[in-house]
Amino acid sequence: MSLPPIAAWNVRGFNNPIKVKICKDLIAVHNIKLICVLEAKISRSSVSDSWFSFSHSLFENENCCDNFGHSTPGRIWVKWDAAQMSYTPSFSSSQLIHGLVCVGSMPPFYMSVVYAANMIEERKVLWKDLLDLSSNLDMPWIVMGDFNCFRFAGEKAGGIPLNNERLGELNSFMFESGLQDLSSVGLFYTWFNQRSDSPIHIKLDRMLVNSAFLDAFPSAFYKVDSFSGSDHTPLILNAALFRKSISRFMFKDFWTKFDDFWELTQRAFERPMSASPIAHFYDCLRDLKGNIRRRSWNSSNFISNCILELKNSHAACISDLQRDPLNPIFNLNFKATCDKLALFQSAWYSWISQRAKAYWLSQGEDDLGFLYAKIKSRKNRNVIKELSSPTGLLSSHADMAVALINHFKTLFNAPTPILENSFNIPVGKMIPVHLIDSLVAQVTDAEIKGVVFAGVASSTPGPDGFFICFLSENLASFWL
């Protein structure tokens, strides 16, 4: 099930009937069910006119809200198809409308629509309002619109470069609020000054999300559509509900903390060799992998559940000690519970660090929340959302798979060139005679062990899901 497309667009004035027409065209092309019209430049008195409201409606069953009471002229006008979804605003200011989006049985989420002021001092009020809102949010949250500032120097082409203080404005807000950039497709720059003599292109419009939003919609992305009738590009959100997929096997470092893991490993590699050494080795790994999958501690959920149970036991032990602090049984239980809790918390941190690959966090506070956000952000970015092909723009996984397969079939199965054997290929540099024997010599056990034990333990796993640390550390006692 997918979320109906949602759009945000700085149209530079919505009084003009032409602007209404281009918004309707955008809605029709992308089947949009909610649109945030930015820099609307609508007066409060105009909205109270029934004919004006009717002529500027975008949906058949339209509901809307605005912040026209906080700014003159009005900046933000949110419109949606009430037959498909609802938007309930709970806070508004001259630069912001914040509210809850509900779509059928899908999880509700908060949406903040932003049209930031041009002056940095005025934008500080916006950042404060959003930070105040974020302190009470534990649900999916998305912030979209025109931020009138950007994050990195590479997000501006042309004009006068900004200093680091100005560049840090949006980055500081995102760090404090826990928001991150949602992945996007389409154009990179979202604003153009429409000048050919001194052109300036900047990424001013974007969508930001929190970790809870990526939990609910991990494949979400927004499309930066082409310019049409405005110097800003429209942003269109596309999101689908999370669908649990079969995850590939990946070796987890914390397994080594369980005695059962070592018993399985020893049992797998004690089998008599019945094939070549490399075939026997892969058979052992395959057997070990299957046995691990059948154990309860295979999933990282096992660690998190154990931590919750141990925390409850820890609280109960403390309560017992408050009643009878010198009871030897209570003290013994408390010490055992603390040791187990430390063990499982260490295992949990090991897994999160392994998934996040945050090497530079090896020293300092163990910020698991940050690591979680890093994992979800990378998963959201490392997915092909759309693919441009000779047949058009492809978005479904099946269509993209077929296009990629056909592309490489054409690339690697080209027809045989005419007169293939007639080419006169000159002899290039040849391998020196004294090196030929070493190139065809049998690989020794010492060379294999040298390569394996020299590998980086935290490197990317191989196709079988095992990290180099499994070979270099965990199998050292079984080698040869």
Q: What is the CATH number of the domain that holds 216?
A: 3.60.10.10
Residue 230 and residue 289 in one domain: no
CA angle centred on 36, ends 30 and 41, rounded to 5°: 125
- Cβ neighbours of 125 (radius 10 Å): 15
* Domain co-membership, 325 together with 287: yes
Cα–Cα dist 356/367, whole Å: 11
Task: Give the pLDDT score at 365.
Answer: 44
Is residue 453 assigned to a domain? Answer: no
Amino acid in the structure at residue 460: T
pLDDT at 26: 93
Distance CA 65, CA 80 (A): 9
Among 381, 400, 422, the domain boundary falls at: 381
User: Within this chain, do residues 223 and 310 fall inside the same structural domain, yes or no?
Assistant: no
**Residue 413 burial (C-beta neighbours within 10 Å; 0-12, 13-18, 19+):** exposed
pTM of the model: 0.66
Report, as ranges of residue numbers, the positions in the chain whose pLDDT lies below 50: 358-366, 478-480
**Which residues, 6+ apart, have CB-to-CB distance to 154 below 8 Å?**
none
Strand partners for 186: 224
Report residue 237 as tokens. 């959100």
Helices 277-293, 259-269: crossing angle, 10 deg rounding: 150
Are residue 58 and residue 111 in the same domain, yes or no? yes
List Cα–Cα distances, 170 to 128, 141, 221, 355, 442, in angstroms. 12, 17, 20, 27, 58
Q: Does 9 fall in a domain?
A: yes
User: Of 212, 240, 268, which residue constitutes the final position of a domain?
Assistant: 240
Tally of domains in the chain: 2
Question: Do the domain assignments include residue 406?
Answer: no
Has residue 475 been placed in a domain? no
Fill in the amino acid letter for 423.
F
Based on the fold, state whether residues 232 and 302 are members of the same structural domain. no
121 and 234, same domain (yes or no): yes
DSSP at 361: G
pLDDT at 466: 76
Residue 459 covered by a domain? no
Cβ atoms of 209 and 237 closer than 8 Å: no
The reported pLDDT for the residue numbered 114 is 96
Please give the pLDDT value at position 457.
63
- Asked, for residue 434, whether it belongs to a domain, the answer is no
pLDDT of residue 360: 43
222 inside domain: yes
pLDDT of the residue at 362 = 45
Q: Cα separation of 366 and 408, whole Å?
A: 44
Q: Please identify which residue in the block is written with the tokens 């809200």.
A: 65
Same domain, 206 and 261: no
**Are residues 64 and 183 located together in one domain of the fold?**
yes
Q: Do both 178 and 40 map to the same domain?
A: yes
| Same domain, yes or no: 232 and 290 | no
Q: Are residues 287 and 158 in the same domain?
A: no
Q: Are residues 226 and 312 in the same domain?
A: no
The residue out of 381, 412, 442 marking a domain boundary is 381
Assess contact for 268 and 288: CB atoms under 8 A: yes
- Nearest Cα to Cα of residue 350 among 361, 336, 340: 361
Q: Which range of residues forms the domain containing residue 96? A: 2-240
Domain presence at residue 425? no
